Every structure is written in structure tokens, then in C-alpha cells.
Amino acid sequence: MTDNKKDNRKFTLTTPLYYVNDIPHIGSAYTTILADVIARCQKLQGDEVLLITGTDEHGQKIQRTAQKKGLAPQDHCDQIVESYRHLWEILNIKYDRFSRTTDPRHQNIVKEFFQRVWDRGDIYLDQQKGWYCVACEEFKEERELLENHHCSIHTNQKAEWRDEANYFFRLSNYQQQLEELYQNRPDFIQPESRRNEVVNFVKQGLKDFSISRVNLDWGFPVPNDPEHTIYVWFDALLGYVTALLETGEEATLENALSKWWPINLHLIGKDILRFHAVYWPAMLISAGVPLPEKVFGHGFLTKDGQKMGKSVGNTLNPVDLVNRYGADAVRYYFIKEIELGKDGDFNEERFISILNADLANDLGNLLNRTLGMIQKYCQGEAPRLTGENIAQDNRLREIGVNLGQEVRKSYQDLQLSLACEKIFNLIRASNKFIDESAPWSLYKQGKQSEVEQILYAVLESVRLSAYLLSPIIPDISTKIYQQLGFTINFNETNKLNEEATFELHSQWGVVPTNATLGKPEPVFSKLDLPT
Ligand code: MSP
């Protein structure tokens, strides 16, 4: 076993390595937004974080796509990779590593790993007969296919019959160890419903699976038998390991695994659960590598209640969406609207109405009206108070004092939409509190100290909310903090923990207010439905 020296303040997480057969779609954007939000939450709490994303570039699917375009596969991949990088840039994704399976160092890692599994006696040559879906890059059981051998996921594509010599991985050797893994570490697969799926699948008995292909050049040759190319999934999963190498470091498994392994969280869609929760741990056990901590399979997105796809003609281009509405809007919608793990829907009217209600009205107006009142009633200076000066039974204080810990727990449990709900509970209570306590009439009555207490309590609630929402809407949170007179930028994630520690900033009524407030400007403008 490779030694595990990783300390528990280091957090490593991955998105899938996306196929480069086409430009990124909304599903890839969804997983990557989730990963970025989780990475930012961990950083906010002081962890050293490594967020890995990247691309899966080998295999028949990519080779054929390149061929159709009349391009060399590498040139095709290089083009598509740029569109991924561009999307992550405009979505404000702060990834630390971009792992490409065509990275020359990756071949060394795959070769060494293959050799370990080979030496273990877990690889053998046999005849593979079966139906292969190139779009899934997976053999299918006849019963899994639709009429005329169409794939149930890629319904417009027919699976192809294969009868060829392939190298196989002895997955069946790992039946018992996998069952023990799921039993002893119930959190290994999440959510619970996905765990049950996998446990039931494994219970039916595991079959060995083929890990090489013939008649395919685009990939790495099998060591000692270059007629065969290593199966794209065997190669791709190891992309997570290659990503851990430092720049310029020699590409050995030992180096790659020395600092950031084991991965704490593989975030994936439910369709690729079997690869991550069954094949991957078995491959790792075979190679003597410690297992990742958790695999989380999120749900699928539909559009207006329908499965999205080119054949249906209802795809949603994430670049258009961000260009039209901005990164924070898109990030917020997917985090707040979809309970992580469940399927979710995109509907433009709902998208606009949620953003207008939450970000423009509840949050944006709250900040705006509060700053406006401070200009009017306090000569533009934030009241110099602390939470101690606010009555203990003040509603905002009551909610605020526990909110940081509650939201931290929701974030840790990956209940991201619940975290939003809790934060917006304070935001809505703040609006209500202003309406009910009517500081404008107290001001007229000369009750200055009461006015200041109200405005302080509200201002502090806005600040805390902005802080806790910063992993989700970093640009808006930064604007709010700057209007409150701080110079903190939530996009400078590596400096955050010195400037705005979670210990201090997640509390209510403790951060010293900055007397000089920034210039009030709307943080989120109301959206209109496109005409
Ligand atoms: N290349 C493999 C992953 C290899 S990881 C070592 C792959 N790539 S993919 O580009 O096809 O899919 C990437 C991710 O997008 C998967 O997690 C998949 O679940 C997700 N989605 C694809 N369509 C989706 C939706 N309609 N909704 C949500 N996510 C979806 O698989």
C-alpha cells in the first residue's frame, strides 16, 4: 500500500474528466459549478484545497468525431479543450488542475498502474463478445438496450456488435472486498439512493470487464502488446492521479500520490456511478492504492421537464446562459433550485423569477434600502455597535448567532440548497424586521439610538449572509462586502483565510463594522424574460 500522509486540512475533489467529443453542455457546467462551490466552502473554512477538472480525450468516440471533422484527433481535442477553459473562466470556476488525458505524463502513470495490476495477476486475455455503445464507451447487456439495439442513454445511436480479443480486468476477484467496503464505509457512495443502486448491482455478481480495444489507435498501447489500446475508461480514471503531479515533477505513481491523495470527493453524474463506485475502487485495491473517501452521484438536468438532447433540439448552451445572465445568476439557480443528488429542471421563466425574487429583491433591495437609511439617518456612517448592544430576543440576533454553524454543517453535508434556504431565512427576516420596526418613524420621533440598533442589526445580517453565500455568488458577495466598507474580494480565494477568517466572519455581531461605507450600487439588476 502506498503510504497515506495527507493531513486532514487538505481537501482534494474532482469533477469528471469531460469527453471532448463536443463543446461543453449544461450537464458539465452543473457538475463543475457544484465542485467549485464545494471547493470554495472548504477554502473559506481554512482548508487547503485542490480542485481537479479536465478532459477525457482518448477512445473511439473522440477518434470518430475528429475524423468526421477531418482533423487529427489531437488538433480536435485542443480546440474543444479551449471551449472548456473558456466556460470555466466565465463561470468563475477556480480550478487548481486541468487534467488532460493526452498529457504526455499521463501515459507514464497509466503504464505504471497497468503494470501493478498486471503483476497482481488481475489482467488476462480473452474473447469479448457483446454490444458496444461508442457514445457511452461501454459494453451493454442486451436487456439494457432499446429496440434495434439502440442505446437507452443515446437513443439516436445503435450499439455495435463486437467479437474480438480483449484484455480483461478480474473485477470478479473484488466482489467480497467491494461488499465489505460499502458495508464498512456507508458514506463511500452518496446519496443513499445511489448507494443502494450500487450495492444491489454488486450483489448480483460482478463480471470481469475488458480494458483494451483492438482496431483503435487513439489511446495508449497496452504495455507488451501494442496491437491493443487501453480502454478509455481505464485510462481516464487515472487522469485523477496524473492531475496530482506538481509541474515538472517526474511522472511516477509515488510522486503523484504523495501529497493530495486520497481524493476526498469524486463528484459525478449518476450515469457514471458504476465506473467510480465499482470499477475504480477495485482497480485501486488491485494496484495497492488507498481508496478515495467519497463518490457523490448527482442527478440529471432536464429542460422544461424534458430530457435534453440534440435530437430533441432543446439543448441549453451554458455559454449563452452566462453571457445573458452572468455567472452568479447561473451558479445560484442550480445550487438553490436543485437538491443535490436529485434530478432538476431548467425553465427560463422559473430561472428569472427565482433570481429576481432572491437576488434582486430580497438581498439586493435589503442592502440598498439599509444603506439608504444609513445615509439619511446616520450621516452615512455605520453605527458603531456590536451584537452585544442588540437585545437578546431580537429576531435577527436570534437567527444570526447560530447561522454560521448551521450553514457550515449544511455545506459539510453537501446540502447546498438547504444552506441557501437558511441564509435567505435571515435575509427575509431582515426585510420584515425593517418593515415592522419602521426606523423612519422612530427617526422622526428622535429615537436615534433605536434607529441605530435596528440598522446595525440589519447591516450585520446582510454582511453575514453575503459571507456565507460567497462560495455560491462570489461576485455579488464581494460587491456587498465592498459597499459595507471592506476591501475583501471573495474571488481571491487563497488570501481569504487571512483576511476574513471563518471563525470571525461567520459569526453574527462580532466583526468590527467599518464606519466608512462604500458607494451604494445595485448588486443584482432585475432580469427580463428574453423576447
Ligand atoms: N469522460 C467521462 C467521465 C470520465 S471521468 C474519469 C464522461 N464524460 S461526459 O462528458 O460524458 O460527462 C460528464 C458529466 O456530465 C457526467 O458526470 C454526466 O453525468 C454529466 N451529465 C451529462 N448530461 C447531464 C445532464 N443532462 N444533467 C446533468 N449532468 C449530466 O462521462
| Closest-lying ligand 1 atom to the alpha carbon of residue 28 | 15
What is the Å distance from ligand 1's center to 347 Cα?
Answer: 21
Closest CA to ligand 1's atom 13: 18
Average pLDDT over all residues of the chain: 95
pLDDT the model gives residue 41: 97
User: What dihedral do alpha carbons 25, 27, 32, 35 form, nearest 10°?
Assistant: 180
At 447, give phi and psi (nearest 5°). Answer: -90, 70
* Alpha-carbon gap, residue 165 to 172, rounded angstroms: 19
Cα of 341 from ligand 1 centre, angstroms? 14
288-315: buried (b, 16+ CB within 10 Å) or exposed (e) per residue? ebbbbbbbbbbbebebeeeebeeeeeee
**C-alpha–C-alpha distance, residues 291 and 400, integer Å:** 39
CA of 262 to the centre of ligand 1 (A): 22
C-alpha of residue 86 to centroid of ligand 1, in Å: 18
Give the ligand 1 atom nearest the CA of 18: 10
| pLDDT score of 202 | 97
How many CB atoms lie under 10 A from the CB of residue 417? 17
Among protein residues, the one with the nearest Cα to ligand 1's atom 18 is 269
Q: Is the pTM of this model over 0.75?
A: yes
Residue with cell 431565512: 425
Tell me if 20 CB under 6 Å of ligand 1.
no
300 lines ligand 1 (CB under 6 A): yes
Residue nearest to atom 17 of ligand 1 (CA): 269
Q: Is the CB of 17 under 6 A from ligand 1?
A: yes
pLDDT along the chain (531 residues), means of 10: 69 97 94 98 95 97 95 97 98 98 97 98 96 92 90 88 96 98 98 97 96 94 95 97 97 98 97 97 98 97 86 85 97 97 95 97 96 94 95 98 98 97 98 98 97 97 98 98 94 87 96 82 89 71
